[in-house]
Amino acid sequence: MNIKIRPWDKSDLPSLVKYANNPNVAQYLTNQFPHPYTEEDGKAFIEFSRKDDPIHIFAIEFDGEAIGGIGVHPKDDIHCKNAELGYWIGEPFWGKGIATLALQHIIDFAFENYNIDRLYASAFGPNKGSQRVLEKSNFKLEATFIKTVFKNNEYYDELCYAMRRTKWKSIRNSNGRSTILKM
C-alpha cells in the first residue's frame, strides 16, 4: 500500500475539506476539529500545521491525495517526557490498514525527534476502529476514564493508550523498521 506522511500543502485544501467535512469523522475528535468543516477551517489548519519547527502535524497521503491527518504534540512542564498522538482518516478509507501504517511511521518520527519516554493517544469508548489501530500498533491500554468526554450532548468513556520508548526500541530492533520522515 502506497502511503506517505508529509507536511500539509495549500494544494491539499480541496481534499482536506472533502474528507474532514463529515460528521462521522468529527464525531470522535475534539471540538477543535469543527463540523461542518469549511474551506476557511482548512486554510487556517494548513497554515497552523506548518508553523512549528520541526513540523509535527502531517497529511496522510494515499495514491497522491491527502486523505487524513496525523500529528505528534510534545508536552511540557512536568509532562515533558510525553507526547500526544492524534490522527484521523477520511471515511472512505476506514478499515483498509492506512491508519495503522501511518502510525508506524509517526511513532518512529516521535521517538527519533523528541526526547520523550511515552507516546500516548486517547480514543472514545465507542470508537472501536481507533482502539484497534492503537492495539495493532503495539500501544497498551493504560487507563479508562469513565464518562469524562462530553461531545454532542453525550458523555463518553476515554481510553488512554500509550507506547514507551523501551517498547519502541524492542520493536525497532526486531524488525529494523525506520522512519520515512527526516525533518
For residue range 139-164, list pLDDT tens digits in order.
999 999 999 999 999 999 999 999 99
- Of 37 and 174, the structure prediction assigns the larger pLDDT to 37
> Domain total for the chain?
1
| Residue 73: how many other CB atoms lie within 10 Å | 13
List the CATH number of the domain containing 60. 3.40.630.30
Q: Which of the two residues, 174 and 122, has the higher pLDDT score?
A: 122
Q: In what order do the strands lie in the sheet with 118-124?
A: 3-7, 57-62, 65-74, 82-89, 118-124, 154-164, 140-151
Strands 3-7, 57-62: pairing kind: antiparallel
The model's pTM: 0.91
Domain that holds residue 140: 3-175
**Residue 60's beta-bridge partner residues?**
5, 68
Residue-averaged pLDDT of the chain: 93
pLDDT at residue 177, rounded to an integer: 55
- For 108-141, how does the pLDDT look when each residue is reduced to its tens digit (9 = 90+)? 999 999 999 999 999 999 999 999 999 999 999 9
The answer to the question of residue 70 being in a domain is yes
